[in-house]
Amino acid sequence: MAIKVTMPRLSDTMTEGTVATWLKKVGDKVSEGDILAEIETDKATMEFESFNEGTLLHIGIQAGETAPVDSLLAIIGKEGEDISALLAGGDAPAASSEASEPKADTPAAEAKTEAAAPAKAATELPKGVVVVTMPRLSDTMTEGTVATWLKKVGDTVAEGDILAEIETDKATMEFESFNAGTLLYIGIQEGNTAPVDSLLAIIGPAGTDISGVADNFTAGGAAPAPEASGPAAEEKAAPAAEKAPEAVAETSNGGRILASPLAKKIASDKGISLNQVKGSGENGRIVKSDIENFTPSAQAQTAASAPAAKQEASAPAAPKVFVPAGEVYTEEIKNSQMRKIIAKRLSESLFTAPHYNLVIEVSMDEAMGARAAINSVPDTKVSFNDMVIKACALALKKHPKINSTWKEDAIIINHHVNIGVAVAVEDGLVVPVLKFTDAMSLSQIGGSVRDLAGRAKNKKLGPQEMEGSTFTVSNLGMFGITEFNSIINQPNSAILSVGAIVEKPVVKNGQIVVGNTMMLSLACDHRTIDGATGAQFLQTLKQYIESPVTMLA
């Protein structure tokens, strides 16, 4: 069945996009993961990949044209499939036979009209009401998790207010409202995950009845049923009242503790009493982080043990159980969106790209002297990693085949150099990108890397800052790792692994002396880079690093 592909929202502020280039044409075969087009957003030009496979049957926005987000971008389906209904705006061909339609003055026609009226009313949005869907905050995002709601139902929302923090496959990002009004409905609760374009919230004038909107949007009842009044409403309210303890817990003195459903579940799994936890959320509400960071106090432990001690005194002592050494203990940690995407992307890279590794050892004596001289200048600080990145950028200009991307029908040579720098964060790994690295000085590279790495660890990077790399550098030298091999960060064709600087005996001019060396390992995609090409790149890189003054020439 043919599938509509719409103009994606590739940044949180994007309202329209321009198709810079189509990389597929009508009639071409499309596989999942193929780059369909390059789309210019309000912040950058980004590659847009297909999440479907089939034949490209229609292009709705030509190269150079601009259209709003969610406009018809393309249609993908089976070769020769009839897509006239989709082009007309429907999902299936419309019936055209007049004989099948009852005449206007017949009872059947009147009944059909009456049945259609409420259906039409349900599909129309009340005046001023806006449906907010789960945004696509990166070009690889297919689903998102609501980490925190910063507004609650009934709150007034102004344009630009932060509605929620959403965890994507790459970072936790603030999602701002593009509309003003009152938050009438929340469709995805904290801690829950939903696909892109799912019902996230509804905003509109205060007091507007939007129960039918939620039902109609989910088209199958994922949203709660509309509210009713009278006896029927009281009957429906009874099961809801039974569910209330999921978010509100009773204290021992009859008071109530506000807690999110996710916090309740985690507390139950860990055997933590909510009475002992202090909430950091709004109105003292207990949230996920409060449970995860909770440490039982000595008083609580004593209080908890008192009834047990009393019970033990009145009961016969239980026999001691011998626990053998090496008792198995496991802990289950739910995979974050970032971890899921890392697993998916790296598996795809390793099993689709034929990897091979080239290793070279470089002398760091001259680099160490040059770095010390550069850092002696006031307000200037560069690292060895900055020097490696600069050397890579210059070497890539001399060996553009390393700076390439594999396509089924062509190899794309990138004549711009955008180097991704792998940064370890709490939940995994992100790769912020230094755009046009070859045009940057060492101090500019150093400042940019520190800024990007800092914001990456605080999950404050924008999607446009993690897209468009043409080559990647991964450095574990600061952890004492002398040599390792990385998995290629596709669509790059290569990644450089940088080890630690080691002081050891080396031979210079026939004499054994103390020297400082570093191991570099280049992982290459054999589809685009032959062994000799990779070796020549490493030779040029070695020259730049061993003689840093040549990077200034």
Collapsing DSSP to helix, strand or coil, 421 comes out as strand
- Choose among 506, 469, 500, 472: nearest CA to 484: 500
Element (DSSP H or E) covering residue 343: helix 337-352
Cis before 491 (ω within 30): yes
511-525: strand order across its sheet: 355-363, 511-525, 494-508, 471-475, 419-421, 433-434
Asked if 503 and 482 touch (Cβ cutoff 8 Å), the reply is: no
Q: Which of 58, 355, 416, 526 is catalytic?
A: 526
The kind and range of the H/E element at 278 are none
Number of C-beta neighbours around residue 459 at 10 A:
20
Q: Which H or E run contains 511?
A: strand 511-525
Pairing of strands 248-250, 193-195: unpaired
Distances (CA, A) of 160 to 13, 174, 399: 10, 11, 46
Nearest to 171 by CA among 426, 434, 421, 495: 426
Nearest to 14, CA basis, from 51, 63, 66, 59: 66
Task: Match 């091999």 to its residue by tokens.
Answer: 485
| 530 is known as an active-site residue | yes
Compute the distance between CA of residue 164 and CA of residue 215 in angstroms, rounded to an integer: 22
Strands 3-6 and 72-77: antiparallel
CA dist., res. 78 & res. 21, Å (int)? 23
How far apart are alpha carbons 321 and 104 in whole angstroms?
A: 84
Of 130, 90, 133, 94, which is closest to residue 4 (Cα–Cα)? 90
Contact 48, 37 (CB under 8 A): yes
Q: CA dist 17 to 72, 158, 347, 417, 442, Å?
A: 12, 25, 31, 24, 34
Is the separation of the CB atoms in 48 and 39 below 8 Å? yes
How far apart are the C-alpha atoms of 139 and 47, rounded to whole Å? Answer: 8
Please answer whether residues 110 and 155 qualify as being in contact, where contact means their C-beta atoms are separated by less than 8 angstroms: no
Q: Exactly one of 42, 82, 451, 530 is catalytic; name it.
A: 530
State the amino acid at position 457 in one-letter form.
K
List, by residue number, the catalytic residues: 526, 530
